[in-house]
Amino acid sequence: MSGKGFETVIHGGTVVTASEVFRADIGIADGRIAAVAETIAGGETRIDASGKLVMPGGIEAHCHIAQESSSKIMTADDYRSGSISAAFGGHSCFVPFAAQHRGQSIDDVIATYDSRAEGNAVIDYSYHLIISDPSPEVLEVGLPRAFARGITSFKVFMTYDLMNIGDGGMLDIMTVAKQNGAITMVHAENNDMVKWMNRRLAAAGLTQPRYHAISRPALAEEEAIGRAVALAKLVDAPLFVVHCSTAEGATLIQRERLRGVKLFSETCPQYLALTREALDRPGMEGAKFMCSPPVRDSATQEALWRHVASGTFASVSSDHAPYRFDATGKFANGTEAPYPKIANGMPGIGMRLPWLFSEGVSKGRITLPQFVQLSSSNAARIFGLDRKGAIAPGFDADIAIWNPRETRKATLADQHDNMDYTPFEGMEITGWPETVLSRGAVVVHQGALRAEPGRGRFVARRRVDLTGMPGYRAPELDPARNFGAEIAP
């Protein structure tokens, strides 16, 4: 095939999609994939991918960038450093959270995050809103207006006193999301169980980081997932359970999905890579590995891997929550703070895909097409990024070229973020992204940043794709079975 008119041709590589692996060249024009063919000649620029894997660029759909926590601690990474780290890790797009704190309007939240993102990101971006104050104005004006802007996902919390909106608030949010074709994401942990555990541990003087791992029991997540799914079923609204860390929680999700419930979920590398023993390091070192839900045990890891391989999870996301190991982050409340006062979260946006490739593909746990599904294509479909996540004509030329044989030890220097540690330090990695393109422009190539901050654009997203998910109709909300009463969810 002639390369006339192509700005860039990627040649000689093995293309990996969500369903196939095949040898092909890719022609790029005007920032989009214009052709995929066995051979494409010419092109103004030619990128040799011989011996490499050519895949859709990663889409990180769970990360905290330039975001204050409910206790007003700012993440270490802004849209510049966070997007650069993501790009070095094989991503061409990310969707961080835009957090509403109580009293804020949705318009103000979006304006705040626009000011933080514009002129800084090197890859394309969108937002998930976090809703902590579902007032009538938010429900009736703010959220529909956000949807019109192309922000089609909202996150709610079932834990943390300053974020928890209660079951009634969740029903209200999910109803508005459903009416607007959006999806609700949920952090599922039983708040009262956690608070009860915290009081018991504090009374016994057990406040070191190691006790964070037992302060948030697996039962707290399992119960909350079950309750969140029941709430979503009542109003037949789509739900996305974030960072599932328990075998029972994953099994519940799998069962409800088989029943046709409009349900999606993810797990994260930390739950597959680390156990609670990491929090038992000397002094306060364990604080580096504190996240919520906490990392668990090796038996849980094995069960979660089986769910990854069998399709329970739509993605393996980083939940990148970068708080430095100093007074700006983990120790904002003092170097000897009890664990409930230590900032929760771990960095990982730069290691999400190399670690998943190494432990998943290289070790035979998942196939290459499954890697594409978990890293990119599923997130594109669920979150409405309809021009991303695929290698096919008409899609954005968001492409990552991987060397599947490169080996290295994970180091902080490889992360290119604003952090002072990585929880993956020293882990042996096989497979690494060498070149990343965003809309046809090279962002990273062989260890060097090639893009200027500000080239990344906001991406308006379409409604969630619920094809093949019939949902659930509560009998009490079915007029045909409820004396003709119309109670629209």
pLDDT-derived band at 475 (thresholds 50, 70, 90) equals: confident
Q: What is the pLDDT of residues 43-92, one digit of tens each?
A: 999 999 999 999 999 999 999 999 998 889 999 999 999 999 999 999 99
pLDDT value for 194:
98
Q: What is the pLDDT of residues 170-197, one digit of tens each?
A: 999 999 999 999 999 999 999 999 999 9
The arithmetic mean of pLDDT across residues 466-477, rounded, is: 91
Which CATH number applies to 59-379: 3.40.50.970, 3.40.50.300, 3.30.465.10, 3.20.20.140? Answer: 3.20.20.140
Is the pLDDT assigned to residue 484 strictly greater than 90?
A: no
Q: What is the pLDDT of residues 126-141, one digit of tens each?
A: 999 999 999 999 999 9
Is the pLDDT assigned to residue 485 strictly greater than 70?
A: no
Is the pLDDT assigned to residue 106 strictly greater than 90?
A: yes
pLDDT-derived band at 478 (thresholds 50, 70, 90) equals: confident
The pTM assigned to this predicted structure is 0.97
In what side-by-side order are the strands of the sheet with 8-11?
32-37, 25-29, 8-11, 45-48
Is the pLDDT assigned to residue 481 strictly greater than 90?
A: no
Is the pLDDT assigned to residue 483 strictly greater than 60?
A: no
Q: What is the pLDDT of residues 12-56, one digit of tens each?
A: 999 999 999 999 999 999 999 999 999 999 999 999 999 999 999
Identity of the residue numbered 429: I
pLDDT value for 92:
98
Burial class of residue 7, CB neighbours in 10 A (0-12, 13-18, 19+): middle
The arithmetic mean of pLDDT across residues 333-350, rounded, is: 97
Is the pLDDT assigned to residue 488 strictly greater than 70?
A: no
List the Cα angle 277/312/348 in 5-degree steps: 45
Q: What is the pLDDT of residues 315-327, one digit of tens each?
A: 999 999 999 999 9
Closest alpha carbon to 375 in 36, 81, 92: 92
